Structure 1
Amino acid sequence: MGNPTGFFLTPGQNCDLDGADILLEDLETDTLLGDKGYDADERVIEKLERQGKTVVIPPKKNRKKQREYDKYLYQARHLIENFFARLKQYRGISTRYDKRKINFLGGIYLAAIVIWLN
């Protein structure tokens, strides 16, 4: 748990929700842990619930109708954050030296393989 199942790059000015639809199509797990940013658009949550997946996304504080979520299961989200912290230890990724998308994505895949093997 905490290791990536896939990567998709979006332009820097786009929000994460734009790439979420592509990644969620082939999601092989039964549970999705996400941060409050994914609560902004119901389409992600509804799509996963239609597929029978457990969605663990805390609601935003300014949401009119608060949703329930599994707080105990959400505690495991730190494993995902730890992966990104390990990924940022690779200087070329954290500073994005590569100008081309394919080169940058290749660097991410290479670093992820090294992290998985350790």
Structure 2
Amino acid sequence: MGRSRGGLTSKIHALVDAEGRPVALKITEGQAHDGRSAVDMLGGLGAGQILLGDRAYDSDALRTRMAEQGAWANVKPMPNRKQVLAFSPFLYKYRNLVERFFSKIKHFRAVATRYDKDPDNFLASVKLAALRVWLRAL
């Protein structure tokens, strides 16, 4: 867990498919930057797939890596970016799938209240909640 002015915090990083089902999950400290800490989760993206990310994932390194993998990063550019790259607002609307996934797993009290203080146990709780999301989708 990370320490901030508000106390001990953590972030859940999730990679979901086109139907909002989780593919990869990760827990990091609350003060860790989203773009740097979630890079190892993006190895599963292949040719023809699209990464829909918010502004925290706007980096040239991430876009280059996605291009090398054959995927396209449709990431909303930062307002202070000098070279604005291709971005589709229409596709970006589908990013709500990951937000809806977070809404679904927060219905589980152990996830919403961060009941487990150990990061491994908390990740297990998140994965159990994600499993329930998968089972409901089937």
1:113 CA displacement:
0.7
Deviation at 1:85, TM superposition (A): 1.0
* TM-score of the two chains, using structure 2 as the length reference: 0.78
Q: Runs of at least 4 residues of structure 1 off by over 4 A?
A: none
How far the C-alpha of 1:26 sits from its partner, in A, is 2.6
Q: Secondary structure at the match of 2:36?
A: helix
1:113 and 2:131 matched: yes
Contact 2:45/2:69, CA 8 A, preserved across alignment: no
For residue 16 of structure 1, report the CA deviation from its aligned partner: 1.3
SS state at 2:130 partner: helix
Q: Which shifted more, 108-117 or 17-26?
A: 17-26
1:102 maps to a residue whose letter is: D
Q: Quote the Cα distance in structure 1 between the aligned partners of 2:31 and 2:78.
A: 21
- What is the CA–CA distance in structure 2 between the aligned matches of 1:26 and 1:19, rounded to whole Å? 15
> How many residue pairs were aligned?
117
Deviations 1:40-60 (A, max 9, x none): x32111100111101111111
Determine which structure has greater relative contact order: mean sequence separation of CA pairs < 8 Å that are 6+ residues apart, divided by chain length. Answer: 1
CA contact (8 A) 1:10 1:18 kept: no
Higher strand share: 2
The partner residue of 1:79 within 89, 97, 116 is 97
The CA deviation at 1:114 is 0.5
Q: State the superposition RMSD in angstroms.
A: 1.5
State the TM-score, normalizing by the size of structure 1. Answer: 0.90
Alpha-carbon distance in 2 for matches of 1:30, 1:54: 6
Q: Distance in 1 between matches of 2:45 and 2:131?
A: 19
Tell me the CA shift for residue 112 of structure 1: 0.4
